[in-house]
Structure 1
């Protein structure tokens, strides 16, 4: 994977071109002071002081001394000495407040590449639904996925020349509460050719999707031909889409080919082979209860859940899947070896 392939998957890079076919999103350039606040790990977990009095988890995160189990450790500053003031980003907060109101009062946040899916547990709703700047700051500050964006986005690149981009952005995406998990799909493009489509939610069987399989393949393929083909900067990449009840296809995200991107119901070897063979696009869904993949959490909207592409759990699952494939190949060789000849 090349550095440029990762760079062009940043939302601020692709969204302006694909805005008409994507989810409504407002993007804000983040000041470096806010980035340093997110990556800083010294002192208590403090949220920025809100100029609009919209605090997430009030009286708990802002004031750790109010916690029953809070103790001043030996050798720390005397209680009478003034402590450092909590961080404050009033200009950024007011811009974000305006964007949230313009998007209907609720958003989910995303940095250049990742959303804080792994931190959803800390919110009052257990999702990435945010209605204030403090909600957003809480999720971003608590997320390891965000730290990966901030510090290690290019670690998997063969031509790595930098550890992070020069500028970070916060994308606020309109919150939709009633999306159906079975209707998001990942599309794989090799040498600018759509070679595979996989259902994103592979932990459950949805008979209605099976009934519409051919129709869904045609809808997504036509969407690619009309809106994506030849318009994205990379030769090899993946993109995620959501199909609405009225048969419209919405672009959700772009991801690099390989590396930390999950191939879902494919293997990367199958997809690369598909890129060398001219045939109908291979469209895979969970077609029965027997083909469900338990434990692989990919429900829509993917940015709302606590599993992150590139996270430790993502890498663990990919490694586990590769190990399983190797074991199966080894078992097949053993069985073949002991079969009687003739």
Structure 2
């Protein structure tokens, strides 16, 4: 599917990460020292940020939103759209976005809801929020993207544990008749659902025993299976195959939809899946290395937050000077994918900051 966002500009970005760091290079754990070094060189992750309980992805996003509104000089009362993109909601219900609306002091006239997408979620979130602005009386929106995938990882899974990190982000959008159009391309193929999967936790495979079992699971093997099903499983071969099959055409279609080509894009910022995969994609579309962002060395794969985090960390000064024609593309879990070409900046310099010590937990 193709779409065009008209009359909306991206006014600012901010990312927040946990101060807690872990590096398999420095602390190999289940790996030998040589294995850890080789792995880091391949996936492009030297260290990752790990969010400790009781904090959740929403806390990172909330801190990002507060800091961004302060940087932009936005009165929270002027923000009437809040989209929280995350696979890690605080509760089964209510929607985490409702609690965030109250905590941020947004007006009760605001639309606030969750979008449970992962790797493609940033592009989806921007598209949804922009279309809401374009079809309503609202003038400003916040798209909050964040995940804490480290909670899903099995402590002995050599395939996923070194790769994933936690992060949150906030992106501000506002109505601006002079803003250049933003072309968008979106797609989905649910056949890929089993390949990046947390089986248990929803109603299909519930983590709590059904009524009538006296609150316990008698069969120890069933309990052990439920524990395994609550962890992330990732079929690396299938993910890689999907990415090389689907993403280069996505990027070309997005550029064609925008009426440009590789030479017309100032920066390519893709979902930071892993460095090995990103380098393959760069070569497939023949993008110059100096315009293709690979920036996950200090953070890991942060799912829905990876694109805004990479932009904030690697393009801050460039966006402050702006404008920068940027191709952003997310792809993965679902399978789900999306890309857009947007002129970013000039804007207040995007920043990456640590979650402050003692930051209050977003809870009810």
Per the normalisation by structure 2, the TM-score is 0.24
Higher RCO (CA < 8 A, seq sep 6+): 2
Q: Between Structure 1 and Structure 2, whose CA radius of gyration is higher?
A: 1
Between structures 1 and 2, the one with greater strand share: 2
Per the normalisation by structure 1, the TM-score is 0.25
